[in-house]
Structure 1
């Protein structure tokens, strides 16, 4: 995989630390029981551009533009930033029906920020086309169904669902969205002082989605 070092421009460290977004549930992971993931689909027109785009996020600038930077995250300290381009991405046929939902991705980009005892992760999984992204979205929804539903207000026009999940021994609130050729995820994680407030996640998502839409619209 090729690492896009340009992300270091808005992160103080690249590649270090844990990145719980998109990983399979760790052995012994205890989630809150009894509920399926999901917060439905918003209505109305999204701000910033189309949620249903055909743009492929396979170039450095597009990934960098989509992920929040220090200018967008006022009051948050940047911690890590990275992107990996799959040199030999797998097709849906190669992945098969039973593999993890990110198997056929062509790019994975993520950034992490921290503030006041909580961490915010932004993750972007890019696929070769909308069909591949839709298949991955379906797998992700099945994968995350074991976790407890979280009530996070959806972004208008964007399909998404939210849930509480413990990863690496840390509690977090994850919101996953399917937009065109990508799966975007925001995770708010308790770093020693977070209440995992759904309103905070919603505000972070409102920042993230327009950046993705704007990056998709750039020719």
Structure 2
């Protein structure tokens, strides 16, 4: 499944709000997720409107020194994917909308994908969740690979792919290779932060739902909630 298809699937929703909340709660309960993680309360946004896809604000973030987010764990089960994704208990102040985890039945090898395919071609599993609050949408996405080498190759491709978009100024996420950029998908402006750690690529997207300033500080805070969950899921037996 391509990045664009995943974004279209996320935006489509899964029915009424009541059904969405129940489905995402069940999604979280299936892996024992809940309130033991950081609260993830929505940080305040400032009044300064962030630029859209064609007006970036400078360089993206690099790898912060001192911390590590390196692991060999392969995220090849739905449970591990679900453990890594934020749940309603971690996202106080946000309304849950959708959640899913998918395992590739027949993942493609690098040879099958070739050098010019999309960066997620060799992925073996992926998952995503969506939350809404105060006129903006927050998406968390994780793409898993068979080993660190495959993930590193995919990260390199993703970075080249995202270079066509306008960069966003954002502090480094501790211990993580990351970069941020503004982009437009389906006529919706958004701010994306991509992080490479261990055997996965993780992304946080803040999208304008009718009132978002696309504040980099919000995305950075959400990323700092996401990374520890991925680390915890990688360390779980």
Is the TM-score greater than 0.5? Answer: yes
- Does 1:75 pair with 2:114? no
Contact 1:85 1:107 in 2 (8 A): yes
Q: Does 1:8 align with 2:23?
A: yes
Alignment of 1:85-104 (within 5 A): 85-104=103-122
* Count of aligned pairs: 193
Is the contact made by 1:122 and 1:185 (CA closer than 8 Å) also made in structure 2?
Answer: yes
Cα contact 2:53–2:189 (8 A) shared by 1 = no
**CA displacement at 1:9 relative to structure 2:** 4.1
- How far apart are 1:92 and its partner, in Å? 1.1
Q: CA, structure 1 residues 93+36, in 2 after alignment: closer, same or farther (shift >3 Å)? A: farther
The offset of 1:8, in angstroms, is 3.2
Distance 1:36 1:152 in 2: 9
Aligned-residue Cα RMSD (Å) equals 2.0
Query: 1:108 touches 1:126 (CA, 8 Å); kept in 2?
Result: yes
1:11 positional shift: 7.1
Partner residue in 2 for 1:54: 72
- The reply on whether 1:66 has 2:88 as its aligned counterpart is no
Distance 2:26 2:123 in 1: 23
Q: Which residue number corresponds to residue 152 of structure 1?
A: 170
Cα drift, residue 10 of structure 1: 2.6
Within-5 A mapping of 1:1-219: 8-10=23-25, 31-32=53-54, 38-45=60-67, 50-219=68-237
Give the 4+ runs in structure 1 shifted more than 4 A: 33-37
Check conservation: 2:24, 2:98, Cα contact below 8 A: no
Secondary structure of 2:90's aligned partner: coil
CA drift of 1:35 comes to 8.2
Give the TM-score taking structure 1 as reference length: 0.83
- Measure the CA separation in 1 of the matches of 2:188 and 2:56: 20
Distance 1:11 1:114 in 2: 18
Gaps of 5+ in 1: 2-6, 13-29
